A and B are shown apart, each in its own frame.
Chain A
Amino acid sequence: MSNSIRGAAAIVGASLAGLGEAPGRTSEDIAIEASYKALAEAGLTTQDVDAVFGSLPGDCSPLSGLLMAEIMGIQPKFTDNNRTGGSTFLSYTLMAAMALKEGLCDTALIFYGSNQRSNTGKLVSSVRPFPYEAPYNPIFPATSYALAASRHMHLYGTTREQMASVAVAARQWANMNPEAFMRGPLSVADVLNSRMVSSPLTVRDCCLVTDGGAALVMVSAKRAKDFPKQPVYLLGGAAATTHMNIMAMADLTKTAAKDSGQRAFQMAGMKPSDVDVVELYDAFTINTILFLEDLGFCKKGEGGSFVASGAIAPGGSLPVNTNGGGLSCVHPGMYGMFTLVEGVRQLRGEGGERQVKNAEVALCHGNGGVLSSQITNILGTEATL
């Protein structure tokens, strides 16, 4: 049963929209632009869509699954507006694959759009202060991640310099991505000397606040080769959740990515050494360290030295966040969707200057809440089926 949806569905359209700044446009506008572009890639129109999965930021449009379908004139057989934070898109792919495999729908559209930068200039979140944390005024979500970082530093000797190297690697990738919002030189010293937000995290340890949207089109594997683009198959996927609020996270240095990763690899019949490119949700620099450890790319406690070695930067042994990530490319509030689009582009060979050679397997990983929800997707080309 564990491999029941391995290779059952494929992504045949993937697109971005409104990256960086999209003044005067609503979150819906951005999501719809991305949806039309993804459908166009697949040679489809909204009239072909019979399942809709998606989110807009901050529940600004409650029931956005219904709203988006209405705006585009779609009357879906299957709608999912599940919200686990920025990881949620990696559960939409799982749900879509199941529904497609079982014939509950034929063409699934997954959407996201956010105008948070142009609209408010700050992170728009649907999370409300938790009564047992609110009196202490933690910055949501930065202080929660900062607490986890403090614990990782205490237990494993991880340093601020090592965390900064995550941001530097992301910038080096972004410098090869014309669509990235933040480009230009960035050094470890620049990260350390930038404004402290919630120690040990400076503003350059934190993801960007941008606009942006993305969309994916998924179909059953049976007809995946009937479309213009090379299909990218979902080989494995799994979700795991440990908590909602940071005070309830049992071990601040061990995330549910360990569990989601293991089950996703099991479904795919793969191991970390089979992965050519990693796209993970780097909301903060500590995330990349935690997830690389928990997903099995290095040992627990060795993530700091691993990232500081240059392994994840261009030219390193493990390409991570090849678009520049949430730290330097785009972060409209729920970054998980962008891990999938970049994974697809790398597997299609569309990465341009930043293309990872012979990429056949991509691991995409989403994080939601405050290290709360972890969802792993493993994508592969036809050769990996």
Chain B
Amino acid sequence: MSATQAPVFSGPGPDRVYQEYLGKGELRIQRCGDCGKQVFYPRLACTGCGGIKLEWVQPSGRGTVHAVSIVNRQTEKGGPYNVVLVDLAEGARMMGRVDGVDNADVKIGMAVKAKIDSSGKAPFVVFEPA
């Protein structure tokens, strides 16, 4: 099969598929069928080897805080909140927020686990202390 006829170039694209999984309460990321790299955010092609055999897999959801910043939002607008980068145990990195803990206690190296926040218009992944 030539590259131009590959399944990834037809049907719903990776953003849509990811959102559909989240809507069902599942966090899925992609794993390259050629080199094994775990890829996030969703893409058509592997960022490691360029292959187009990305498969949807269910990560453990466990991860480690890689970097953190507290955005100093004004109190009347809801107050400060944290923004983190999390390295999932399987290797991919996501942006996120750590809930259920004081902002000051969100530290680099902290163990966290993913959960899906469905409170808004579209579901998205947040983290809580593991």
Contacts and interface: CB of A to CB of B under 8 A. Distances in A.
A131 B72 contact: no
B111 to A, nearest CB: 16
B89 interface: no
Contact of B81 (A137, A197, A246): A137
Interface in B106-130: 108-109, 117, 120, 122, 124
Contact of A132 (B66, B67, B69, B95): B95
Interface residues of A, number: 27
A246 B71 contact: no
B68 interface: yes
Contacts of A148: 67
A131 B15 contact: yes
B35 interface: no
Contact of B72 (A133, A135, A199, A247): A199
B53 interface: no
Contacts of B94: 132, 247
A137 B71 CA distance: 9
Given A151-B67, A195-B72, A247 B83 contact: no
Contacts of A196: 70, 72
Contact of B71 (A132, A138, A150, A248): A138
Main secondary structure of the interface of B (DSSP, over half): strand
B95 A137 contact: no
Given A132-B41, A132-B95, A138-B95, A247 B71 contact: no
B93 A198 contact: no
Given A137-B81, A196-B72, A252-B67, A247 B15 contact: no
A147 B72 contact: no
Contacts of A198: 69-72, 83
Interface string A139-154: 1000100111111001
B97 interface: yes
Interface string A227-268: 000000000000000000011100010000000000000000
Contact of B95 (A149, A150, A197, A247): A247
Given A133-B95, A137-B71, A247-B94, A143 B83 contact: yes
Nearest to A133: B95
A291 to B, nearest CB: 19
Contacts of B72: 195-199
Q: Which residue of B40, B67, B84, B117 has the most chain A CB atoms within 10 A of its CB atom?
A: B67
B41 A147 contact: no
Interface of A: 131-133, 135-139, 143, 146-151, 154, 195-201, 246-248, 252
Given A154-B108, A198-B72, A198-B83, 4 more contacts: A136-B96, A147-B67, A147-B84, A150-B108
Interface of B: 15, 40-41, 66-72, 81, 83-85, 93-97, 108-109, 117, 120, 122, 124
